[in-house]
């Protein structure tokens, strides 16, 4: 009797064991294929070249080396790029040389972006504000005007509140940090952030695959076309540059931090409290993070000045460089006084 029961249990468990073995085998094969795809993408990505003029250098910040460039003479201006995938100091290339004709111009890549070292685990907005204050103190060595694009504007505000030597502050299409930042329904990041944040996004194979999908040529081109640029030909060429920059080794840490809301902070209180002369610049045609957000910024800081650039979305410094310079050069020149 005992023998019969044992035999029956063994027979009953055999199909289940077979299913489990098959499932595990398929899962392993799938993960293996995904890992191979991730490796191929990494191998096919060319190195990120230095696409900005000036003298290249590296600044040993607390959490890694920051890549930067400097050119020109005169009162200093520091340019800070945004944090979306593929962004780097190269986004200032349309205005960098002309600014350097009038100022000592600095631009750097955030840790985890461009040519800088990768960012550390657990990074936050305060750490990024420290990159600004440390760079100004150790490299610039004097009060400087700061021009910050996108999310970088929030870090510049925090740095100013923390006592960084910032003489003037210009925010270009400033973006509040997640979870406060708005996002359009078509934005791939919104889907990824809501469904893949947390443990899955941190998974070494699937997390990298998710970022590779988000940063595919198709998704980056769609992002540039719909939300980045008024000029659709420029959107095409710029998204190709983003694709290369977004797949550099070490960039996944910074993107995970951004998607998971690691840079959240009370930016409204900081913006309200700083007394640095401030300028807001928005592209007229921006659909997301557009200049319709300006009333809130101006309500918090009535002394701030607003300039709107026609035929531009989130990158007026790339789309309308002459108009951008017409705004920024007189503003930066006031720091001479």
pLDDT for the residue numbered 335: 53
Domain boundaries, the chain: 55-182+265-336
In degrees and rounded to multiples of 5, residue 277 shows phi and psi of -55, 125
Distance of CA 200 to the CA centre of its chain: 21
pLDDT band at residue 336, thresholds of 50, 70 and 90?
A: low
Q: What pLDDT shows up at residue 29?
A: 44
φ/ψ of 146, rounded to 5, equals -120, 130
Separation between Cα atoms, residue 177 and residue 210, nearest integer Å = 21
Residue 207 pLDDT class (50, 70, 90 cuts): low
Over residues 21-60, the pLDDT tens digits come to 444 444 444 445 444 444 444 445 555 666 788 999 999 9
Angle between helices 93-100 and 321-333 in degrees, nearest 10: 40
Residue 283 · residue 313 · CB < 8 Å: yes
Q: What is the pLDDT of residues 277-318, one digit of tens each?
A: 999 999 998 876 677 888 999 999 999 999 999 999 999 999
Which residue shows structure tokens 């070494």? 204
The model's pTM: 0.82
pLDDT at 164: 97
Residues 193 and 201: their CA atoms lie apart, in Å, by 9
Phi/psi for 258 (5° steps) reads: -65, -45
Which structure tokens are listed for 286?
């921006």
* pLDDT more than 90, % of the chain: 58
The pLDDT of residue 146 is above 50? yes
pLDDT in tens, 161-187: 999 999 999 999 998 876 554 444 444
Share of the chain above pLDDT 70, in %: 74
pLDDT of residue 209: 79
Do 253 and 163 contact (CB within 8 A), yes or no?
A: no
Angle between helical axes of 206-214 and 2-44 (0-180°, round to 10):
40
Distance from C-alpha of 245 to C-alpha of 240, rounded to nearest angstrom: 9
* Mean pLDDT score of the chain: 82
d(CA 39, CA 208): 10
Q: Domain 55-182+265-336 falls in which CATH fold?
A: Rossmann fold (3.40.50)
Most confident of the following: 6-15, 47-56, 147-156: 147-156
Least confident of 4-8, 199-203, 331-335: 4-8
């Amino acid at each position: 009797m005992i023998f019969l029961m044992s035999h029956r249990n063994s027979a009953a468990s055999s199909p289940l064991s077979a299913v489990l073995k098959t499932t595990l085998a398929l899962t392993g094969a799938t993960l293996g294929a995904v890992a191979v795809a991730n490796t191929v993408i990494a191998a096919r990505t060319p190195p990120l070249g230095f696409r900005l003029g000036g003298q290249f250098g590296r600044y040993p910040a607390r959490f890694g080396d920051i890549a930067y460039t400097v050119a020109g003479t005169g009162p200093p201006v520091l340019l800070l790029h945004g944090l979306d995938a593929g962004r780097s100091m190269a986004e200032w290339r349309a205005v960098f040389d002309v600014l350097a004709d009038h100022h000592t111009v600095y631009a750097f890549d955030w840790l985890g972006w461009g040519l800088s070292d990768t960012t550390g685990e657990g990074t936050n907005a305060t750490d990024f504000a420290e990159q600004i204050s440390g760079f100004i103190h150790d490299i610039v060595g004097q009060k400087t005007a700061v021009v910050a694009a996108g999310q970088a504007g929030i870090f510049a505000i925090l740095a100013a509140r923390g006592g960084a030597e910032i003489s003037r502050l210009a925010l270009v299409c400033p973006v509040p940090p997640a979870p406060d930042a708005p996002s359009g329904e078509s934005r791939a990041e919104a889907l990824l952030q809501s469904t893949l944040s947390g443990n899955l996004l941190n998974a070494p194979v699937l997390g990298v695959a998710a970022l590779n999908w988000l940063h595919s040529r198709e998704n980056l081109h769609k992002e540039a076309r719909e939300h980045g640029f008024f000029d659709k030909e420029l959107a095409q060429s710029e998204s190709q540059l983003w694709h290369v920059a977004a797949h550099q080794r070490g960039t996944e840490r910074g993107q995970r931090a951004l998607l998971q809301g690691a840079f959240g902070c009370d930016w409204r209180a900081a913006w309200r409290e700083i007394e640095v002369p401030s300028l807001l610049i928005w592209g007229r045609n921006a659909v997301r993070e557009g200049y319709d957000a300006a009333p809130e910024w101006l309500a918090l800081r009535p002394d701030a000045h607003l300039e709107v650039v026609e035929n531009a979305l989130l990158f007026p410094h790339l789309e309308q460089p002459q108009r951008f310079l017409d705004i920024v050069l007189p503003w930066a020149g006031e720091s001479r006084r």
